[in-house]
A and B are shown apart, each in its own frame.
Chain A
């Protein structure tokens, strides 16, 4: 019993300190569902995740859900946000990404916003697709989601 209490205390203490470096975690197709809309994550190439500062992860099926979730967080709760790059399918930091929106782009929630690691790849995408407008991380926060009928 004493040992158990000691263990609990150590775990809690350990959790309190330690350097904070957030890394994205693997998607588990079987159990991961979007925190916001409840959809299971089958299109991994659009998935996003937020690493909370307490060590928990929340998964999202679409960038739109991720952004809506982040706005509900309190100061300091968010560790880092990650989203899949639309061209490379790699995790990239949401805060450093560039976004392209067009209502015809398909995403799991049909929000139509894609993420890119650099501005160049985003520009290239717009060129090859022939449509889309660039959004910055700040513009993302004020973007109106789900009205692109």
Chain B
């Protein structure tokens, strides 16, 4: 911990009178500091943009706000290494493309911690970075349609990226990663954006303990291999075309212990192979899981499906489903081994059509369709795709807490019933 109080010294020389923070030129301070130095910035409002091209630590001491000019990134870090940026607030201006928080290019070993960005079109952008450590960032975008906004955090052509406990809302894509290797996303929260995580051409990524809420789609993972998606909570993606998770073209993907609740589609797999979907919970989604061209070596097992309108659906290729729990399974377990005696067939007459033609969505749970599905299950008509030979009989996780009886509600209802019956009996009507 090398700590030099440069500022106290500078104050004495340059500012004999009471200094107002905005008169301090941050850029000058950075230029004057030595390589590897830690610069403590006193509380106040400063004007950006600033550029960093040397080894340095910028640490806010109290409430430090740096304002952007709306045209250039508030902080640019280029062609350097070992930079730390900590405890700052970056405040953007306007809604142009240039209004961004931190921009890094050709850098190595950078840590950004406890930085808050508000009113920015895009938050952090990095190109050709190696060893990035980002934690406890807060990024708040603009209020506009997502097609007019930038990304919260975008990283291109980089490797060894770690992002922890970052909160992002009101941007286009919360995390946008393109051609990145060894990516770690832990404990982040993205809401009210287009995609929570948008990953393309990434190898060895791990996303765990993240939370995604009310975006168009929680996780959009495309053309990536060797990905672990573990213990994320993804809920309320209910817009048109909304989904909890969409995976498009990929191999060796492990989706485990996630909770997908109240999304238009919980999980959608397209052209995914050699992957596994295990121990996840799909609750009250319109459609739990959709499988398109994902029948090859991809297994959906030990998951729980409850309260979804359609639990699983697929294209004609089907998919491998094994030992999941389905709340609409109607078979019995005479052997009492916890596994249903008859196979579960996930495809209802109607479920297939919804995948092929979007217009059929209109019939979702319509009276006519409900009757059709009922007939299907009564006549034991099973499809040829999407069959679980060993459906589980019970959920492993029981989340329901004990409910108290609401006496006021009960008494109110009882009085109403008695009143109505009395009215009826007295033949006061007609």
- A-facing residues in B243-271 (Cβ within 8 Å): 243, 246, 248-249, 268, 270
Given contacts A31-B240, A37-B222, A110-B201, contact A149 B216 (CB under 8 A): no
**With the chains together, A29 CA to B145 CA distance in Å?**
9
Q: Is B398 an interface residue (CB 8 A)?
A: no
> Are the CB atoms of B270 and A38 closer together than 8 Å?
yes
Tell me the complex Cα distance, A23–B351, Å. 32
A39 in contact (CB, < 8 A): yes
Q: Are B222 and A109 in contact (CB under 8 A)?
A: yes
- Residues of B115-159 contacting chain A, CB below 8 A: 145-147
Bound CA span A44–B223, Å: 22
The count of residues in chain A whose C-beta lies closer than 8 Å to any C-beta of chain B is 14
Return B97 CB to nearest CB of chain A, in Å.
13
> Which single member of B147, B200, B220, B241 contacts A110 (CB below 8 Å)?
B200
Neighbour of A42 across the interface among B147, B241, B246, B270, CB < 8 A: B147
Most buried by B among A38, A42, A146: A38
| Contact status B220-A39, CB under 8 Å | yes
Closest Cβ neighbor of A34 among chain B residues:
B248
Nearest chain B CB to A8 CB, angstrom units: 15
Scoring A residues 31 to 67 as 1 if CB is less than 8 Å from chain B, else 0, what string do you get? 1010001111010100000000000000000000000
Contact A149 B146 (CB under 8 A): no
Q: What separation, in Å, do the CA atoms of A29 and B144 have in the docked complex?
A: 13
Residues of A within 8 A of B200 (CB): 109-110
| Known A37-B222, A40-B194: A149·B246 in contact at CB below 8 Å | no
Query: Does more than half of chain A's interface fall in helix, strand or loop, or is it mixed?
Result: loop
Q: Does A30 contact B (CB under 8 A)?
A: yes
- Given the known interface contacts A29-B145, A29-B147, the answer about A38 and B240 at a Cβ–Cβ threshold of 8 Å is no
CA gap between A42 and B243 in the complex, in Å: 17
- Chain B residues with Cβ under 8 A from A110's Cβ? 178-179, 200-201
- CA separation between A38 and B240, bound complex, in Å? 12
Q: Which residue of B lies closest to A33 (CB)?
A: B241
Tally of B interface residues using CB under 8 Å: 21
Q: In the complex, which of the residues A31, A44, A146, A149 contacts B241, with contact meaning CB atoms closer than 8 Å? A: A31
B240 near A42 with CB under 8 A, answer no
A30 with B201: CB separation less than 8 A: no
Interface 1/0s, chain A 67-97, versus B by CB < 8 A?
Answer: 0000000000000000000000000000000
- Would you give the shortest CB distance from A87 to chain B, in whole angstroms? 19
Complex CA distance for A44 and B179, rounded to whole angstroms: 23
Main secondary structure of the interface of B (DSSP, over half): strand
Which residues does chain B contribute within 8 Å of A37, judged by CB atoms? Answer: 222, 248, 270
Nearest B residue to A65 by beta-carbon distance? Answer: B248
The CA-CA distance from A110 to B147 in the complex, in Å, is 18
A42 and B146 contact, Cβ closer than 8 Å, known pairs A31-B240, A146-B223? yes
B249 contacts across to A, CB distance below 8 A:
146
- In the complex, what residues of B have CB within 8 A of residue A30's CB? 240
B172 interfacial by beta-carbon distance below 8 Å: yes
A149 touches B179 (CB 8 A): yes
Closest to A148 in B: B201
Q: In the complex, what residue of chain B is closest to A37 when comparing beta carbons?
A: B248
Alpha-carbon distance between A37 and B240 when the two chains are bound, in angstroms:
16
Residues of chain B lying within 8 A (CB to CB) of residue A33:
241
CA distance A33 to B270 in the complex (A): 15
The A-contacting residues of B in range 382-403, CB under 8 angstroms, are none
Give Cα distance in the complex from A30 to B242, angstroms. 11
- Contact residues of B between 162 and 218, Cβ < 8 Å to A: 172, 178-179, 194, 200-201, 216
Q: Could you tell me if A40 and B216 are in contact, using CB atoms closer than 8 angstroms?
A: yes
Bound complex: CA A29 to CA B249 (Å):
24
Interchain CB contact under 8 A, B201 and A149: yes
Give the shortest distance, in Å, between B176 (CB) and chain A (any CB): 11
Contact residues in B for A31 (Cβ distance below 8 Å)? 240-241
Taken together as a complex, chains A and B put the C-alpha atoms of A109 and B176 apart, in Å, by 12
Whether A38 and B248, one on each chain, are in contact in the complex, defined by CB atoms closer than 8 angstroms, is yes
Tell me the complex Cα distance, A29–B147, Å.
8
Decide: B147 and A38 in contact? CB cutoff 8 A.
no
Q: How far is the CB of B294 from chain A (nearest CB, A)?
A: 13
How distant is the Cα of A62 from the Cα of B4 in the complex, in angstroms? 53
Most B CB contacts (10 A, CB to CB) among A39, A44, A110, A149 go to A39
Within 8 A of B (CB), among A135-149: 146, 149
CA A40 to CA B147, docked complex, whole Å: 9
Give complex CA distance A29, B216 in Å. 12
Query: B178 to chain A: which residues have CB within 8 Å?
Result: 110
Q: Closest A residue to B200 by CB, please name it.
A: A110
22 interchain pairs, CB-CB under 8 A: A29-B145, A30-B240, A31-B241, A37-B222, A37-B270, A38-B220, A38-B246, A38-B248, A39-B220, A40-B194, A42-B172, A42-B194, A44-B147, A109-B200, A109-B222, A109-B223, A110-B178, A110-B200, A110-B201, A146-B201, A146-B223, A149-B201
| Given A38-B268, A40-B194, A40-B216, 13 extra CB contacts under 8 A | A29-B147, A31-B240, A37-B222, A37-B248, A37-B270, A38-B220, A38-B241, A42-B172, A42-B194, A109-B200, A109-B222, A110-B178, A149-B179
A-B CB proximity, top 6 nearest: A42-B147, A33-B241, A37-B248, A29-B147, A38-B246, A31-B240
